[in-house]
Chain A
Amino acid sequence: MNNNTVTMNILQPDKWIENYGDMLFGFAKSRVASESVAEDIVQDTFLSAWKGKDGYRGDASEKSWLFTIARNKITDHYRKAAHNLEEHGISDYGTDFFSETGHWTKEALGMAWDTSASVRVETKEFYEILNSCKDNLKELQKAVFVMKYLDDMDSDEICKELNITPSNYWVLMHRAKLQLRTCLSKNWFNK
């Protein structure tokens, strides 16, 4: 057996912050509701990594090892938030946008957008607005939205990851979409 050619991945903790600090912060910031939570997650990631560095076997790169730790921290954070779902009224199935008879409430009614060629959508400015609308979503709405569309997970995986029911998922996603629609209407389409 010739193992000499295998280059083992090694950890360089002295360079972690310099090499991965901003990257991990960007990763966390696009997934949680506030910058201060994202800062805490990055901080916890580095600390856990430092404490667990003896367990690193070098089979993944340093970078993906750190990202896995960060991802787990974010999942823990989501789960804590999901634990209080009932307190936040998520359990009452869409009562804020549908009336008892199942019709749209006046507040939730939207308007049509002009998506014809005359309104250019796929521009840098549009994505900047969409991104900031997304960043303004509340915690778990942002979580389901990012997992679904940016991480490309399906709803079953998301429910499992967050430990929520399919109907919780639907309410969260529906609220996210309604809020994004309002935000895009206000800041882009009907500006």
Chain B
Amino acid sequence: MFFGLVKMISCKEATYLASKREDKSLSWRESLRLIVHYKLCAICAVFEKQSIFIGKQARKLEAHNQDAQLPNDVKVKVSTMISNEK
């Protein structure tokens, strides 16, 4: 009865809603569709969990690559270019 009122969505739509939910809130209709979909589809439910996990861990990565070293030849090239422009 209750499920009958909810439009069934595909995995494609479900993952779209899941990724939308990370950013913005869903309407109650959308939330309900997602809940019903997850009851029937473990694959999508696992994917959202993994997706949230990846995002959460990625936030802890440095936005800079700290160990990066600009290769010497580029350093020399830039120095030369700048001094030639003087």
Contacts and interface: CB of A to CB of B under 8 A. Distances in A.
A145 B58 contact: yes
B57 A94 contact: no
A29 B67 CA distance: 11
Given A25-B69, A103-B10, A170 B19 contact: yes
Interface string B65-83: 1111111001101110110
**Chain B interface residue bracket vs A:** 35 or more
If over half of B's interface residues share one DSSP class (helix, strand or loop), that class is named, otherwise mixed; here it is helix
A118 interface: no
B61 A27 contact: no
Interface in A1-55: 13, 16-17, 21-27, 29-30, 38-39, 42-43, 46-47, 50-51
28 contacts: A21-B70, A21-B74, A21-B75, A25-B68, A25-B69, A25-B70, A27-B64, A29-B65, A30-B62, A30-B65, A38-B68, A42-B74, A50-B81, A94-B12, A98-B10, A103-B11, A104-B11, A104-B43, A110-B43, A134-B61, A148-B55, A149-B61, A150-B61, A155-B24, A173-B19, A174-B19, A177-B50, A181-B47
Interface of A: 13, 16-17, 21-27, 29-30, 38-39, 42-43, 46-47, 50-51, 94, 98, 101-104, 109-110, 112-113, 115, 121-122, 126-127, 130-131, 134, 145-146, 148-152, 154-155, 170, 173-174, 177, 180-181, 184
Interface of B: 9-13, 15-16, 19-20, 23-24, 43, 46-47, 50-51, 53-55, 57-71, 74-75, 77-79, 81-82, 85
